[in-house]
Amino acid sequence: MTEYVLRFMVGGVVVSAFAMLGDMLRPKSFAGLFGAAPSVALATLGIAVHRYGADYAAQQTWAMTAGAIALAVYGFVVCQLLIRTRLRAAAATFLSLAVWLVVAFGLLILAGGQT
Amino acid sequence: MSPIGFSCSSLKEGRWYEYLIRFALGGAATVFTGFVSSRCGASIGGLFLALPAIFCASATLIEKHEIRRKREAGLDGRRRGEEAAALDAAGAALGALGMLTFAIVFSLVVERNIPGAFIGASLAWLVASVTAWCVRRKMRWVRRKQSAGKISGPADSRGR
């Protein structure tokens, strides 16, 4: 339980810091880089290294490469949906999560990862 | 080309509950990743390190702020809000290349040097993201200049 409370606090602080930095930057497309900052990864990997060791964290980041490629596809799809359709940001970002899931798990299976 | 700028005043546009939502989402995403890792293993948990959960909240807030700003000026602002969120999404797609670099560098270095993995991967993320953004901006600028040249070309020849 203590580990989850720690995860919540560390994750909240790191994500908020990156998000506030993104808010302060201009132009918008440059600020968007901070929307894809590895904030959750930094918080999670710090705890993973401390509790389970470097080997476990290396395995996690290897799988993270599939998630990152899926994130690039996700960002492209959200951008196209917002420009070409009349969808609002909340709907476009939420619906595109399905694309992220399919691409991320597809790549992991292709790479022969554990599913 | 608009230069890269830094303005603290944009923080005043946010409401306290919006920051609270981001904090809660960030915390929840980190807890969720830990939970998935413990139940399904490091590989599946690792995928969720790149989950765009925070991006959903950020893009929605950017759209809301843009609409609010335009409404205060007496305009609808809905389309402008969608465009601002789309630009943020384009930036996130480029930032994902940085995240990919982060993951590769971290996985290669962590077993040899833990602090070096955190510092090296974070620097790799920053360099890769900013480089990708600069390259894309330069390409757009060149393309725009070329199309402007095509438009002004016949007009110039008419003038001669």
Query: Interface pTM (ipTM) of the complex?
Result: 0.88
pLDDT score at A115:
47
Q: Which of A34-48, A88-102, B55-69 is most confident?
A: A88-102
Confidence check: pLDDT of A85 > 80: yes
pLDDT score at B158:
45
pLDDT class of B159 with cuts at 50, 70, 90: very low
Phi then psi dihedrals of residue B112, to 5 deg: -100, -40
Six-digit token string for B33 = 């990743």
pLDDT class of B112 with cuts at 50, 70, 90: very high
B24-81: pLDDT as tens digits:
988 998 999 989 999 999 999 999 999 887 777 778 888 888 888 888 877 777 788 8
- Residue spans of the domains in chain A: they are 1-52, 62-115
Torsion of CA A46, A104, B42, A33, to 10 degrees: 0
Six-digit token string for B31 = 């807890």
Confidence check: pLDDT of A9 > 90: yes
pLDDT over 70 percentage in chain B: 90
Six-digit token string for B57 = 């909240």
List of chain B residues whose C-beta atoms are within 8 Å of the C-beta of residue A8? 27-28, 30-31
Handedness of CA A12, A16, A18, A22 (dihedral sign): positive
DSSP assignments along B17-59, one per residue: HHHHHHHHHHHHHHHHHHHHHHHH-HHHHHHGGG-THHHHHHH
Of residues A22 and B98, more confidently modeled: B98
Six-digit token string for B78 = 């809905």
- Residue spans of the domains in chain B: they are 52-159
Residue of chain B minimizing CA distance to A92: B56
Give me the mean pLDDT over the B126-131 stretch: 92
Q: Do A37 and B47 touch (CB under 8 A)?
A: no
List of chain A residues whose C-beta atoms are within 8 Å of the C-beta of residue B94? 29, 32-33, 36, 72, 75
pLDDT score at B157:
47
Burial label for B112, CB within 10 Å (0-12, 13-18, 19+), is: exposed
| Helix, strand, coil share (%) of chain B residues, nearest 5 | 85, 0, 10
Q: Is A31 on the interface with B (CB under 8 A)?
A: yes
Q: Is A104 on the interface with B (CB under 8 A)?
A: yes
Q: Is A17 on the interface with B (CB under 8 A)?
A: no
pLDDT class of A22 with cuts at 50, 70, 90: confident
Q: Is the pTM of this model over 0.95?
A: no
By mean pLDDT, which of A90-104, B71-85, B101-115 is the weakest? B71-85
List of chain A residues whose C-beta atoms are within 8 Å of the C-beta of residue B130? 33
Round the CA-based radius of gyration of chain A to a whole number and report it. 16
